[in-house]
Structures are given as structure tokens and as C-alpha cells.
Amino acid sequence: MKDAKMREWRGQSLDSNWAAAGEFDSRVAVLSGTESEAPRVWQTLKGQIAQAWAACGAFEWMALAYLCLSSLLIFTFAENLEHPWRLLGAQALVAAMVLTLCRVQAFSAAKARRQGVTFASRWWHFWRFWYPHLFFLFCFEELAHLMTLFTPHWQDAKLIALDYWLTGVHPSIWLEQFATTPRNEFMQLVYLSYFTYLLILGGTLYLRREWQAYWSVMTYSMVGYMIGYCIAMFFPIQSPWFAMAGSWKAELAGGPVTATVNFIEHFGRVRGAAFPSEHVAGATAALWGAWKFRRTMFWVLLPVFLFMCVSTIWGRYHYVADVLGGLTTGSLGFLIGSWIMKRQGAVKPASEIYSC
């Protein structure tokens, strides 16, 4: 009887041990499965990033290079900035958005070639082509937070002295003697024309489906802006509007155009980043693009461009040195951008990425 109870107890104990062992094995299996998921997720993420990068063109190469460079500068000189981690977060978010847009548009274009064009394919195609304008605006507005990156001191005195050495006068003060309401209106109108050069040229190339020419012009602009943005971080200039405030007899009087410019300047003005003039740099790059791809448009825009350069000084937004710097960086953008576009594989065939 006693032996029978002993055998029963041993059997129950053995069953419980097997059950515990089975439960342990199942837990190990679950944990092992969880751990094996991590490499798969990482591989999937790497694959998506690789596909997004493959969908990028020369413009994105320059845009992402600028974000990487500026992020490195922000990290290096973080102690000189108020909110460096916010800036780095914004940079990372914008980079992710650019890569995502390229990936989605490339996928949408490939699907459209197989199944036909849809509203979605047109939608992503449109944003892929026109987001560079928003990217330029983001980078310029961000500069307002980067003026103390390298030095907390404005360097306007140096450019005021340079302008006087070049011209023998203080140009924005000297031009005040010619100011009248009609002239002010005209100068403010040509000053606003800056926003139209890239839109007109880009819109023409877009409607004609000249994708290579379109992205060439955008790349010229990106390189020119990139050079100018980096210079502005290390050589902070306010502009005559701030540095020479009180030197004029009166404000520039005008009509609706002047009021529009004053409204834009009030809500969108960046204090700093005046040297080199990004107005002039962007317009110069676009003008070189017109010379290369639309020669007639170049001759139409040239006189407006020349008046625009004068208007930046007339309106007290820039020094003469700013304009010369913008002409230089915009031309460098064209030269370097042209070299980049000529490199083999810099821009993939339009049928592979851009067109539907």
C-alpha cells in the first residue's frame, strides 16, 4: 500500500515537472521569436531607407547634405544656441519627410506605369516636383535661430565700411534723395519679383515635361542657397534696416505694393542672414537656368532682375556687398550644380522616377 502511494506521488511529481518544463520551453520560444523579430524589423527599415535613397535625385542629394552639415554645426556649437535639440529634431523630421516623399512618389509612378495614371499618382507627382520651394523657405526661416551659431556679434560695421569704400557713400542713405511714391512702388514691385523667377521658369519646364531641365534648375538653386546659408551662419549680418535704423529722414512711402511688402517683412522677416543676399542668389541661379534652357525667357527676366538688385538696396534690405555676394553664390550654384548634373547617374531617367 505504501509502495503504491509512493509510485502515485512520484508520477504526479513527474507530471508537474514536465508541465513546468513545457511552460518554460514555450516562454523561451516566445522570447526567441520576439528577439528574432528585431533583426527582421531592422532589415525592413534598412530596405525602406535604401529604396527611398534610390528614389532620390541630385536635388535631394544636395538638400540632405545641407541638413547633415547644418545638423553637425548645430551639434558642435550647441552651447551657442537657445534650443539646439529642437533644431536637430526639426532637421531630422524634414529629412525623413523628404525621403518618404521620394519613396512614395517613386512607388506611385511605378504603379501608374503598370496600371495607369490615377489621382494619387498625379498628387504625389505634383508634390515631388514642387516641395523644393517649401524646403528653401524652411531653411531660410531656420536661419533666424542660427545667427548666434558661431559668434553672438553682428558684423554689419564691416560691410558698412566696405560699401563706403566701394561707392564713397552709404548707398541706401544716398538713394533716399530720389525716393518718390511712384518710384517706391516700382522698386517694391521688382523686389517682390524675386519670388516669381523660379516659379515661372520651373512652371514652364514642368508643363513641357522637361524633367531633366527642371531638376537641373532646382539643383542650381539648392547649391547656391546651400553656400549662402553656410556663410550666413558664420558671418551674421542684420541688414541696413536694423543696423542703420534712424539714418533716414523718413520711411519709404508707397501704395498697395509697398504695404504688401511691409506686411510680408513684418511677419516673415529673418533678422540676420543678409549676407550674401539669398534674394539675389536664388534669382541668379534661376536666371542662369533660363539662359541654359529658355534663352528668350532669360532676356525678358534680365532687366527685371537688374532692377531687383537695386531694389534690395533702395528698400534698405541689403548692402552692396550683399548683392555682390548673392551674384557670386548664385553663379557658383549654377557652375557646381551643372557639374553635379553631368555626373553619370546624378539624375536617373525620367521614366524611372519622375514621370507617370
DSSP 85: H
Q: Is the dihedral of CA 209, 213, 216, 222 positive or negative?
A: negative
Could you check whether the bond before residue 39 is cis, i.e. omega within 30 degrees of 0? no
- The pLDDT tens digits of the residues spanning 227-259 come to 999 999 999 998 998 889 888 888 888 888 888
pLDDT at position 50: 78
Give the Cβ contact number of residue 205 at 10 Å: 23
pTM of the model: 0.82
**Are the C-beta atoms of 128 and 102 separated by less than 8 Å?**
yes
pLDDT at position 7: 47
Residues of 63-84 as b/e, b for ≥16 C-beta within 10 angstroms? bbebbeebbebbeebeeebeeb
> What is each CA distance from 213 to 65, 205, 234, 275, 294, in whole angstroms?
21, 7, 33, 29, 10
By C-alpha distance, which of 299, 280, 287, 285 is closest to 335?
Answer: 285
pLDDT at position 87: 94
**Are the C-beta atoms of 316 and 172 separated by less than 8 Å?**
yes
pLDDT at position 247: 87
pLDDT at position 129: 95
Q: What nine digits make up the cell of 142?
A: 531656420
The domain spans of the chain are: 38-342
pLDDT at position 76: 93
Residue 160: its H or E element: helix 156-167
Residues of 150-184 as b/e, b for ≥16 C-beta within 10 angstroms? eeeebbbeebbeebeeeeeebbbeebeeebeeeeb
Cβ neighbors of 260 (< 8 A, separation 6 or more) are: 188, 192
Give the whole-angstrom CA distance, residue 30 versus residue 36.
10
Look up cell 522698386; give the residue: 187
- The pLDDT tens digits of the residues spanning 84-104 come to 999 999 999 999 999 999 989
> What is each CA distance from 28 to 24, 219, 234, in whole angstroms?
6, 54, 57
pLDDT at position 33: 52
By C-alpha distance, which of 282, 270, 274 is closest to 236?
Answer: 274
SS3 category, 238 = coil
Q: Extract the residue ranges of the chain whose pLDDT is less than 70.
A: 1-38, 42, 44-45, 266-269, 344-356
